[in-house]
């Protein structure tokens, strides 16, 4: 069904990422799993079979993100699909060697940097990019001075805020690539029973009990995979709630904020002038493309 297609899945050893990788493999797609833990990655690749491959790297470290991009370019003759799945829901403040809050890097800067480092290949292959996000982005409270270092850390709000930062860039990537054939969309695959955000103590036990009623990763993976194969009959840069394109919450449609978030990400990742944000749209043009059927 999907012969000669290569799909890269970050965070592909567990949860939704593992389920997405498995569904791709079931459909005959060559899967390249990006994983932090080599042992878990090798086990996953062996289980997937079908020529699956592994690239290791810690996406909380900007140096490792660059190394992952280099390895992907070496290992992949082409990249037809890129699924940014890797994510962190922090339960405590962790600052990385880059002096940045861990989830800010994994959830926001890592996919931003990978998109730029792989851009030439993505353009050549007219890649379909799917960015996993979460409906909680609407609860984010982005503070451009404090959020990057976790100075405003909160066990719930930080996850929402880093997802918001990432989501603000998706329509800008769509605009940057509008003449290239690259398509990028964000998707909230539904509330899912994964290990994301697990914690210890009584609250952890209560959360595990609640999660039993949530959908398993195999169900959440289906709209993600279907989106990668969906016909290109709508604009790029949309936000999907499972199968359905929906309008973004106003907090994620602030064009001025999106530009500043992009510029800050360029500075933090040392990408340079070629990664400048796309120009502002004409007055009255929405940040998020409207679905022609809406």
How far apart CA 262 and CA 219 sit, in angstroms, is 33
CA angle 254–141–193, rounded 5-degree value = 105
Spell out the long-range contacts of 224-227 with Cβ–Cβ below 8 A and sequence spacing 24 or more: 224/16, 224/20, 224/83, 224/85, 224/130, 224/132, 224/187, 224/189, 225/20, 225/23, 225/24, 225/27, 227/130, 227/185, 227/187
How far apart CA 126 and CA 182 sit, in angstroms, is 5
Q: Are 29 and 12 in contact (CB under 8 A)?
A: no
Question: Which residue among the candidates 89, 104, 159, 239 is catalytic per the annotation?
Answer: 159
Length of the chain: 294
Q: Is 239 a catalytic residue?
A: no
**Cα(first)–Cα(last) distance of the chain, in Å?**
31
How far apart CA 175 and CA 288 sit, in angstroms, is 10
How far apart CA 111 and CA 83 sit, in angstroms, is 9
How far apart CA 186 and CA 248 sit, in angstroms, is 10
Q: Could you tell me which of 171, 55, 68, 184 has the C-alpha nearest to residue 123?
A: 184
Q: In sequence order, which residues have a C-beta less than 8 Å from that of residue 77 and are 6 or more positions away? A: 6
User: What count of other Cβ atoms lies within 10 Å of the Cβ of residue 94?
Assistant: 14
Catalytic positions are: 159
């Amino acid at each position: 069904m999907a012969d000669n297609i290569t799909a890269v899945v970050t965070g592909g050893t567990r949860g939704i990422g593992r389920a997405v990788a498995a569904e791709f493999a079931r459909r005959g797609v060559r899967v390249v799993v990006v994983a932090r833990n080599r042992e878990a990655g090798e086990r996953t690749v062996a289980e997937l079979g079908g020529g699956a491959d592994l690239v290791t790297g810690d996406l909380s470290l900007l140096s490792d993100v660059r190394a992952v991009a280099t390895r992907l370019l070496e290992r992949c003759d082409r990249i037809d699909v890129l699924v940014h799945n890797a994510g962190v829901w922090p339960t405590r403040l962790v600052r990385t060697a880059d002096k940045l809050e861990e989830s800010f890097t994994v959830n926001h800067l890592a996919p931003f940097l990978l998109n730029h480092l792989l851009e030439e290949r993505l353009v050549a292959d007219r890649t379909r990019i799917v960015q996993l996000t979460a409906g909680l982005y609407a609860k984010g409270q982005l503070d451009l001075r404090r959020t990057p270092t976790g100075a405003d850390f909160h066990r719930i709000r930080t996850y929402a805020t880093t997802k918001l930062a990432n989501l603000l860039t998706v329509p800008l990537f769509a605009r940057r690539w509008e003449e290239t054939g690259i398509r990028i969309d964000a998707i909230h695959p539904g509330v899912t029973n994964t290990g994301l955000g697990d914690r210890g103590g009584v609250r952890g036990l209560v959360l595990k009990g609640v999660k039993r009623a949530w959908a398993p990763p195999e169900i959440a993976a289906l709209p993600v995979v279907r989106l990668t194969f969906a016909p290109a009959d709508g604009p790029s840069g949309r936000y999907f709630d499972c199968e359905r394109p929906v309008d973004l919450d106003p907090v994620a449609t602030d064009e001025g904020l999106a530009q500043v978030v992009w510029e800050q990400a360029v500075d933090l990742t040392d990408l340079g002038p070629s990664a400048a944000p796309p120009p502002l749209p004409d007055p009255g043009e929405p940040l998020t493309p409207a679905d022609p059927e809406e």
